[in-house]
Chains A and B, each alone.
Chain A
Amino acid sequence: DTGVSQDPRHKITKRGQNVTFRCDPISEHNRLYWYRQTLGQGPEFLTYFQNEAQLEKSRLLSDRFSAERPKGSFSTLEIQRTEQGDSAMYLCASSSRFGGLSAEAFFGQGTRLTVV
Chain B
Amino acid sequence: GENVEQHPSTLSVQEGDSAVIKCTYSDSASNYFPWYKQELGKRPQLIIDIRSNVGEKKDQRIAVTLNKTAKHFSLHITETQPEDSAVYFCAARLSGGSQGNLIFGKGTKLSVKP
Is residue B81 within 8 Å, beta carbon to beta carbon, of the partner chain?
no
Q: Is the interface of B mostly helix, strand, loop or mixed?
A: strand
Knowing A42-B89, A43-B89 are in contact, say whether A105-B98 is a contact too (CB < 8 A).
no
Chain A contact residue count (CB 8 A cutoff): 24
Knowing A31-B100, A45-B101, A45-B102 are in contact, say whether A110-B95 is a contact too (CB < 8 A).
no
- Whether the Cβ atoms of A44 and B104 lie closer than 8 Å is yes
- Whether the Cβ atoms of A102 and B105 lie closer than 8 Å is no
Knowing A41-B107, A43-B104, A102-B31 are in contact, say whether A50-B98 is a contact too (CB < 8 A).
yes
Knowing A101-B32, A102-B31, A104-B34 are in contact, say whether A43-B44 is a contact too (CB < 8 A).
yes
CB distance from B33 to the nearest CB of A (A): 9
**Which of B44, B46, B106: most chain A CB closer than 10 A?**
B44
- Whether the Cβ atoms of B43 and A109 lie closer than 8 Å is yes
Interface residues of B in 36-86 (CB under 8 A from A): 36, 42-46, 49, 51
Knowing A43-B104, A91-B44, A110-B43 are in contact, say whether A101-B89 is a contact too (CB < 8 A).
no
Is residue A56 within 8 Å, beta carbon to beta carbon, of the partner chain?
yes
- Whether the Cβ atoms of A101 and B93 lie closer than 8 Å is yes
- Whether the Cβ atoms of B100 and A33 lie closer than 8 Å is yes
Contacts of A74 in B (CB 8 A): none
Contacts of B32 in A (CB 8 A): 101-102
Known: A45-B104, A48-B98, A101-B99. 12 other contacts (CB 8 A): A42-B6, A42-B104, A44-B104, A50-B100, A56-B98, A56-B99, A101-B31, A101-B100, A104-B49, A107-B36, A107-B45, A108-B43
